[in-house]
Each structure stands twice: as structure tokens, then as C-alpha cells.
Amino acid sequence: MDRLEIKRANDMHVHLRQDDMLAQVLPHTISQCAHALVMPNITPAVLTADDLVAYRQSILALLPDGSTFKPLMTFKVAPTTSPAEITKLKAQGAVAGKLYPEGVTTNSEGGVTDFKALYPVYEAMQEAGLVLCLHGEMPGVFSLDRESKFLAVLRDIASRFADLRIVLEHATTAEAIACVKELPANVACTLTVHHLYLTLDDVIGDRLNPHAFCKPVAKRPEDRDALVAAALSGNSKFFLGSDSAPHTVANKECDCGAAGVYTAPVLLPALLELFEKHCKLELLEAFTSGFAAKFYGLPEHKETIVLVQKSWTVPEQYGDDKSGLSVKPFLAGKTLRWQVG
């Protein structure tokens, strides 16, 4: 086979940033995706209905004529979020709220420390039909254990709000995969491209690779294998959320490097190689599009994308050094067998 046509992806976790960086990275997402769930941790964060409208408009203004791409907007669930604001956010087209524990990732300052204090917000989201997306790491815990310690929070919210759709974002451990499987159907999980490829050795093994550093950090080989097995399982609880997170080379290669891996340019080619390697190509479209559409209740789309078997080398970077916007993509310098046709 040298050609594959599938539905355009639904990327249910992507960072598009803002201003000049937004203009630079957006084309990579819209070239492969029909929908993308846009994260709200810009500066300042998307907290209110007015914030959401303004951010969505900044994205739509950059779409080329005739584009059918639809950004799915989210808001940051913060300690100050009120049930009344949830109603306003829903009215302005919010699809989900993203909960960031305090200080666990980029722009998560002012995040949540008391998860139970937000029960009224979860209730309002449940009534509004909004999805609660969780960055599943417990603050103040040893870095490799943060996801495991957070699973108790996930279990608590899921048990108390049976009709609230919940997504554990970017799972990294075998324990998290098992937890999502055992919880009811209202709980799902996104898997990233890079966590399906990386282990902690790729970050700090033979030498430090800041461009493979993300939050949550990649874990052990057996954890990575559990993620791959979940992606290839055909279980509709597990679907694509790339967590593509561009940071400039300067902000990655410094003494306090930013967490995030920029996977948008290689999104479908890298996934196709993985599914092909494991002889599971028949499940690729469901993982990248169908399962997410069902869980989020997205309108069915018919737009397809063609991938062709033609080797290409992933560029070392995108963007101009002079502008200060150069970004190193995932798998930079590597040769991939498939590319967008």
C-alpha cells in the first residue's frame, strides 16, 4: 500500500498559542485536522465568556478562505470560576473546561489546589453538557509519581458526577490506562503522539534532550507500551489529543527549559507509521477521529486527508531565527515513510 485516505483528524488537545506564534503554528493543525480542542492557557488565560470569544476570533481571522476547520474552544477552570460563568461560557460556544493543578505545566500559575472546592462548578458543567478535561498531575509530588497520585482525584469526581463527561489528558502511565478502563463510560483519555514514542531515557538518558521534555514527563518503557496498547486496542475510551505545544528554541534550550513537544507537523504521518508497524491500520481513523467525535458529540464531518508513502525528512526547525519564533518539531531530522499527500 502506498496511499491511505482517512477522515481528517479530531485533535482533542492542542496548543495554538497567540499572536505571531499562533499565525506560525496554526497551518500545521488545519492542514490535518477537521476539529481541534484549543487549550486556554494563553497569557492572560481564557477565563470568561468574553475571553473565549476574543480568542476564537483571533483563530478564525487567520483561517484561509474556504477552510472548514473548526476550533473547539475551552476555558480554564480556576479557583475563581463560578457556576454563573459556566452558563455564559456555554452560551458562547465553550465545549470543555480545562483544569490545571497549580504550577504543574506552562501557564498553570493560579491553578487549582482544592479540587473539592470546585464541586459546584463540576455540577454546573454537568448540567450544561460541558466536558471536564483534567491535567492529571498532583502538585508538590515527586515528578514521576504526580499522575499516579492524581488518579484519586479523577476517581472522586467521576464517582460524584456520573453524568459529567471527563477526560484524563495525556496519560503517561500503565496505572492511568488501567484506571480509565475501570471507570464508567463517562470517563475517557487522550493519548499524545510523543508519549507513544518516548520514554524517560529519550529525555535524560544518554544526554539531555530539552525538545523531548514535556509535562507529564515520559515514563518507563512498560508505561509507553501500555499507552501504545491502549491506542491500538480499538477501545473508544482512548483517542488522539496531541498536546502539541510549541515553544521557541530559545525557551527550550536554556537553564529553565519550557515543557512541551511540538508534534503538529508530524501528527498523522507519525501515527500512521506506528499503526502500520503494529498491523493496526484499520483502527487508525477511529483513534484519530471517530472515537473523539462520539465522546464529544461532534457533528459528523466528511472531509478526508490523503497520506502517501513517500519518504521525507522532518525539518530541524520551523520559523525564522531572526524573528525569535523558531520551533523545533518532534522527530526533527528523522526520516518518515509517510507524508500528507
- The residues carrying an active-site annotation are 243
C-alpha cell at 224: 509507553
Phi, psi (rounded to 5 degrees) for 334: -85, 155
Measure the CA–CA gap between 65 and 54, rounded to whole angstroms: 20
66 dihedral zone (left: phi>0; alpha: psi -120 to 50; beta): left
Look up cell 475551552; give the residue: 74
Measure the CA–CA gap between 239 and 35, rounded to whole angstroms: 13
Residue 16: C-alpha distances to residues 21, 40, 62 (Å): 8, 9, 12
Phi, psi (rounded to 5 degrees) for 335: -100, 125
User: 180, 166, 198, 318: which is closest to 270 by C-alpha?
Assistant: 198
